[in-house]
Homo-oligomer: A and B are copies of this chain.
Amino acid sequence: MSSSAWLTGVEALATLAFALSGLIEAARKRLDAVGVCVVAGLAAFGGGTLRDVLLDRRPFFWVEHAHWLWALLALCVLAMLSLRARHLALTERAVQWPDALGLGLFTAGGTELALAQGLPAIVAVLMGVITAVFGGVLRDIVCNEIPRAFHDHRPYAVCSFAGAWVVVGAQVLAAPQWLGLLLGAGLATLLRALALWRDWQLPAWRVD
């Protein structure tokens, strides 16, 4: 298997994890079939799409690779036929690990794209974080919840932030691009996995 086929496989797995997070949220909120598809789609593709709107890039990923929209539709139909309440918590736990992978991959990819446009380091980092995190943010806004990434005091965007700086740092040090992407994605994924495993908490704002 070539490295590019590997990468596509990992990317598909990560996107699947993001889409499933949308499916689970939609099921919890008892959305109808339309809502399920939209929320799953927002969770999977919303972050990258928002980044592309901000960077004024076209075509979007899901326009260039429109078969992913078909795959998403098939996933939603399949899930609605087979997933039951007792599967939701299980799926949510199983999805955490590929989701951490997605966090890393999308962070590194988004940061790299912004660097390639010559944007300042802090903006590139922000774009990496938006790519990885804002699909989930849009999912929660549509489901009428305060976005989990802003509220649950568990490191998520922070892991993405750290990984994005590694990608920026690699470019500053003139390291090969693949190395920066690998280290950045790796660090974000590792930090998230550690945060899940050790149950890390963000320091709370002791406002009262």
Seen from chain A, the residues whose Cβ lies within 8 Å of a Cβ on chain B are: 26-27, 29-36, 38-39, 49, 53-54, 56, 58, 60, 62-63, 66, 69-70, 80, 83-85, 88, 119-123, 126, 137, 141-147, 149-153, 156-158, 202-208
Contact = CB atoms under 8 A, between A and B. Distances in A.
B33 A203 contact: yes
A31 B207 contact: no
Contacts of A120: 63, 66
B141 A141 contact: yes
A63 B122 CA distance: 9
A50 B97 CA distance: 33
A31 B148 CA distance: 9
Contact of A34 (B142, B145, B149): B149
9 contacts: A30-B207, A32-B204, A34-B156, A39-B150, A63-B120, A63-B123, A69-B126, A85-B207, A142-B146
A84 B146 contact: no
B54 A150 contact: no
A113 to B, nearest CB: 14
Those 10 A-B pairs whose CB atoms lie nearest each other, nearest first = A35-B150, A85-B208, A66-B120, A32-B153, A34-B157, A32-B202, A144-B146, A27-B207, A80-B205, A69-B122
A143 B142 contact: no
Contacts of A149: 34-35
A155 to B, nearest CB: 9
A8 B106 CA distance: 36
Contact of A205 (B33, B56, B122, B142): B33
Contact of A146 (B31, B83, B150): B31
B83 A150 contact: no
Contacts of A62: 123
A144 B145 contact: yes
A38 B122 contact: no
Nearest to A150: B35
